Amino acid sequence: MRIVVTGGAGFIGSHVADAALAAGHEVLVVDDLSSGKRHNVPAGARFEQLDIRKAEPLLAAFRAFKPEVISHQAAQTSVSVSTREPLRDAEVNVLGSLNVMEAALSVGAGRLVFASTGGAIYGEIADGRRAREEDPALPLSPYAVSKLAVEGYMRAMSVDRGLVYTVLRYANVYGPRQDPHGEAGVVAIFAQRLQAKLPIQINAKRELGDAGCIRDYVYVSDVVRANLAALEGTLVEPVINICTGEETSTAMLADQLERHFGRASERRAGPRRPGDVERSVLDPVRCRKAIGDATSLAQGLAQTAAWFVAQR
Ligand SMILES: NC(=O)c1ccc[n+]([C@@H]2O[C@H](COP(=O)([O-])OP(=O)(O)OC[C@H]3O[C@@H](n4cnc5c(N)ncnc54)[C@H](O)[C@@H]3O)[C@@H](O)[C@H]2O)c1
């Protein structure tokens, strides 16, 4: 198949592009390199440096390549940035995504796979609960609002114009190639700081000095398997959580990473970050059915730590 991967110079998109090529597909990566890196784009993929906010060049690239399916990963990905600059977030995440949908429809692509957020879309998840796909979305940040808006547009365009889509609601994704220099991606940030012997900061869940937010961490390979299954048509759920269902606090994550890097860190307590939910854990039943067992946190962190070590 011919597959467009938007955001394919970024963390998740570049792994999706790798896996699609390995499975024998042709890949066009579309990325403006605003946070992605040219060297993340696999050698076997074509590359167009394009901003998804610009409809015409995007459409021209789609018309030239004639994709059969699209994995739409490009986004403004930071919750914090979205709270400071909601307009910029919406321009990329809502209007840019609408351009991707229009381009997909105009070339008659068979399916659009969308990287949504399970981590943020459900809002707060009460202790002891895991968010299921049919639970109401209660976004608490502009980022989550923009992802939910795109889900709604996709549903509307499927009714109106026959868009075929799959929404993958990722939990907190981690793994090799995640950028440690952004504001998101705590595993990458901690890994880099542990290696550099710098202090690490546990941002508060509620009170300064607590163990930090509770998250459901999912390894990037599992996210890639879900993307491939959706692109190839074996995962046909319209909306699905991509997660493990395991809960981990930021402090627990730091403990595990310290073991993998064989060193303790100086820890600092940071304030609660605007837009962050306190607890987010997702129900993994559909995900397990679709792609099998997820990688354990211990195994995923071991592979991630090994990658960070190899990079230095
Ligand atoms: N990493 C996570 O934990 C997580 C969780 C839930 C959802 N997601 C979603 O998964 C997708 C991939 O995230 P990631 O972690 O790989 O982030 P990333 O920042 O590594 O990748 C995003 C890519 O999109 C590109 N991009 C940004 N704006 C663009 C624009 N206007 N035009 C073209 N390209 C543009 C960037 O250059 C980058 O390469 C995003 O849609 C993100 O919202 C990620």
The pLDDT score that the predictor gives to residue 110 is 83
pLDDT (0 to 100) of residue 115: 98
* Beta strand pairing call for 165-170 and 239-242: parallel
From the CA of 10, how far away is ligand 1's center (Å)?
Answer: 6
Closest CA to 15 of 150, 165, 121, 173: 173
Tokens standing for 164? 């075929």
The tens place of each residue's pLDDT in the chain, 312 residues long, gives 999 999 999 999 999 999 999 999 999 999 999 999 999 999 999 999 999 999 999 999 999 999 999 999 999 999 889 999 999 999 999 999 999 999 999 999 989 999 999 989 999 999 999 999 999 999 989 999 999 999 999 999 999 999 999 999 999 999 999 998 866 799 999 999 999 999 999 999 999 999 999 999 999 999 999 999 999 999 999 999 999 999 999 999 999 999 999 989 899 999 998 878 899 999 999 999 999 999 999 999 999 999 999 988
Is CATH 3.40.50.2300 correct for 2-172+218-242? no
Return residue ranges of the chain for CATH 3.90.25.10.
177-216+245-282+295-311
Q: Which of 143, 170, 174, 219 is catalytic?
A: 143
Query: 177-216+245-282+295-311: what fold?
Result: UDP-galactose 4-epimerase; domain 1 (3.90.25)
Query: What's the pLDDT score for residue 158?
Result: 97
Tell me what pLDDT residue 183 has: 65
Q: How far apart are CA 186 and CA 102, in angstroms?
A: 34
Nearest to 236 by CA among 167, 161, 297, 134: 167
pTM of the model: 0.97
User: What integer pLDDT is reported at residue 181 of this predicted model?
Assistant: 80
Residues with CB under 6 A from ligand 1: 7, 9-13, 31-36, 51-53, 73-77, 92, 96, 115, 117, 119, 170, 172-173, 179
The Cα–Cα gap between 262 and 191 comes to: 11
- The DSSP H or E segment spanning 6 is strand 2-6
Neighbours of 271 (CB within 10 A): 10
Residue 165 is among the residues annotated as catalytic for this protein = no
Q: How far apart are CA 271 and CA 206, in angstroms?
A: 8
CA dist 108 and 199 (Å) reads: 51
Strand partners, 70: 4, 112
